[in-house]
Chains A and B, each alone.
Chain A
Amino acid sequence: MGHSLETDAKAGKAPIVYRDTSNDAGSLFAAGLILNLSAYLNQSVFNQYAPISIKNFELHGSVYGLPDTVNYILMFYNKQYVPYPPNTTQQLIQIATNVNKTYHIWGIAYGMTSEYGYRFAAWFAGFGGHIFNSQGMPQMNSSAMVEALEFWYNLTYNLHINAPDVTPSIEQQLFTHNEAAIIFDGPWDLGIYVPALGANLGAAPLPIVSQTGLHAAPFVGSTGWVISSPQASGATPQQIQAALLFIQFMTSYQAEMNLWTYAHDIPANMKAYNTVITELNNDNLTPTYLNGIMKGVLEQAQYGQKFPNIPQMNFYWDGFYDYATEYYANEITATVASQKMENYMLSQMQQAGITPDLLLPINLNLLQSYELLSNLFNLGILGLW
Chain B
Amino acid sequence: MNEHKLSNYFYILPIVALILFLFMYPVAYAIYISFTNFSLYHFFKYSLVGFQNYVLVLTSHTFLHILGNTALWTVGSLVPMMALGYLMALVLNQKDIRGKRLFFTLMLFPWAFPAYISLLVWLGMWNYEYGVVNKIIGLIHLAPINWLTYPDTAWIALILTNVWLSFPYYTAIFLSSLQSIPTELYEAAEVDGASMWQKFGRITLPMMKTSISFVGISGFIFTWNNFYPIYLLTGGGPGESTNILIVYAYQEAFAYNLYDIAAAYSTISTIILAIMAIIMLKITHVLEVVS
- Chain A interface residues (CB < 8 Å from chain B): 3, 6, 9-10, 27-28, 30-33, 113, 163-166, 170, 174, 231, 311, 314-315, 317-318, 321-323, 325-326, 328-332, 347-348, 351-354
Contacts and interface: CB of A to CB of B under 8 A. Distances in A.
Given A163-B129, A165-B129, A165-B149, A326 B258 contact: no
A164 B146 contact: yes
Contact of A33 (B37, B42, B43): B43
Interface in B253-270: 254-258, 261
Interface residues of B, number: 33
Given A165-B127, A165-B148, A330-B150, A231 B41 contact: no
A351 B148 contact: no
A170 B123 CA distance: 12
Contacts of A332: 239
Nearest to B53: A351
B55 to A, nearest CB: 11
B43 A328 contact: no
Interface string B266-277: 000000000000
Given A6-B40, A31-B43, A165-B127, A351 B56 contact: yes
A322 B240 contact: yes
B44 interface: yes
A326 B241 contact: yes
B128 A352 contact: no
Interface string B25-65: 00000000000010111111000000000001000100000
Contacts of A353: 37, 39, 41-42
Contacts of B93: none
A165 B134 CA distance: 12
Contacts of A321: 235, 237
A4 to B, nearest CB: 11
Given A31-B43, A174-B129, A325 B256 contact: no
Query: By DSSP majority rule, is chain B's interface helix, strand, loop, or mixed?
Result: loop
Given A170-B127, A170-B129, A325 B37 contact: no
Given A318-B251, A329-B149, A348 B129 contact: no
Contacts of B150: 329-330
Interface in B147-164: 147-151
A244 B286 CA distance: 63
A174 B236 CA distance: 26
Contacts of A28: 40
Contacts, number: 99
Interface string B146-189: 11111100000000000000000000000000000000000000
B72 to A, nearest CB: 16
Contact of A331 (B235, B238, B257): B238
B258 A325 contact: no
Nearest to B259: A6
A328 B258 CA distance: 28
Nearest to A28: B40
A61 B254 CA distance: 28
Contacts of B254: 3
Contacts of A9: 43
B40 A311 contact: yes
Given A9-B43, A28-B40, A329-B150, 10 more contacts: A3-B254, A27-B40, A30-B40, A31-B41, A32-B44, A165-B128, A318-B251, A329-B151, A329-B239, A351-B261
Interface of B: 37, 39-44, 56, 60, 127-130, 146-151, 235-241, 251, 254-258, 261
10 contacts: A113-B146, A165-B128, A165-B147, A166-B128, A323-B239, A325-B237, A326-B240, A326-B241, A351-B261, A353-B39
A265 to B, nearest CB: 27
B127 A331 contact: no
Contacts of A352: 39-41, 256-258
Q: Which 9 A-B pairs have the closest CB atoms?
A: A326-B239, A165-B128, A325-B238, A329-B238, A31-B43, A325-B237, A31-B40, A329-B150, A165-B146
Given A326-B239, A329-B241, A113 B41 contact: no
B239 A325 contact: yes
A6 B127 contact: no
A231 B43 CA distance: 11
A357 to B, nearest CB: 12
Nearest to B236: A322
Contacts of B43: 6, 9-10, 31-33
A318 B255 contact: yes
A351 B260 CA distance: 9
Nearest to B40: A31
A45 to B, nearest CB: 28
A99 B149 CA distance: 25
A380 to B, nearest CB: 42
Nearest to A329: B238
B28 to A, nearest CB: 17
A162 to B, nearest CB: 12
Nearest to A170: B129
Contacts of A10: 43
Contacts of B251: 318
Contacts of B40: 6, 27-28, 30-31, 311, 314, 352
Contacts of B237: 321-322, 325-326
B256 A318 contact: yes
Contacts of A3: 254
B238 A166 contact: no
A58 to B, nearest CB: 19
A287 B68 CA distance: 58
A354 B41 contact: yes
Given A165-B127, A329-B239, A314 B149 contact: no
A170 B147 CA distance: 16
B238 A170 contact: no
Most chain B C-beta atoms within 10 Å of own C-beta, residue among A231, A329, A347 = A329
B149 A328 contact: yes
Given A164-B149, A170-B130, A314 B239 contact: no
Nearest to B243: A322
Contacts of A311: 40-41
A352 B255 CA distance: 13
